[in-house]
Amino acid sequence: MEKHQRPLSPFMLGSGYKFQQTSIMSFLHRLTGIASLFVILAIGLWIIAIPFSKSLALSIQALFTHFAFFPFLALGVASTVYHFCNGIRHLFWDAGIGISNEEAVKSGMWVIVATAVITVALLAVGILA
């Protein structure tokens, strides 16, 4: 009997695994879920500071609106929007819709496009407001 040189259980990293769009998007979904938690915590800190310390609330607002903070703001918005859009995709999968490989790749591209469009729209509205 010939022994195969492969992992005993599936593992996402290493030579025995081929990266695919769906696996990368699954990993990003987990990562953006964690990132969204930090976004919510930052916004929550700012909101909680408002009634307790006006100077702290204004300092946090000054940080959030400073031009050097914009890349973090943009990444936070993009992360949250991606997690939301991909979550909707997962809801469709839970209903048995779009679960074939071809449909999963197509819906993945729609998630990426929707994330880009919605993120740019939200940032534009925020900047122009």
- Establish if 78 belongs to a structural domain: yes
- Establish if 36 belongs to a structural domain: no
CATH code of 81's domain? 1.20.1300
* Domain containing residue 112: 41-128
- Establish if 93 belongs to a structural domain: yes
What is the DSSP track for 52-75?
A: H-HHHHHHHHHHHHSGGGHHHHHH
Residues 6+ apart with CB under 8 A from 29: 82, 83, 86, 87, 90
Domain total of the chain: 1
- Establish if 13 belongs to a structural domain: no
- Establish if 64 belongs to a structural domain: yes
Higher pLDDT, 47 or 16: 47
- Establish if 17 belongs to a structural domain: no
Question: Could you read off the pLDDT of 109-120 as tens digits, one per residue?
Answer: 999 999 999 999
Higher pLDDT, 103 or 15: 103
How confident is residue 16, by pLDDT bands cut at 50, 70 and 90?
low
- Establish if 23 belongs to a structural domain: no
| pLDDT at residue 13, rounded to an integer | 61
pLDDT of residue 87 exceeding 70: yes
| pLDDT at residue 127, rounded to an integer | 87
pLDDT of residue 7 exceeding 90: no
Most confident of 2-11, 22-31, 80-89: 80-89
Cα separations in angstroms, 12 against 20, 31, 120:
10, 15, 32
Distance CA 64, CA 126 (A): 12
Mean pLDDT across the stretch 44-70? Answer: 93
- Establish if 9 belongs to a structural domain: no
Mean pLDDT across the stretch 36-56? Answer: 94
How confident is residue 11, by pLDDT bands cut at 50, 70 and 90?
low
How confident is residue 23, by pLDDT bands cut at 50, 70 and 90?
confident
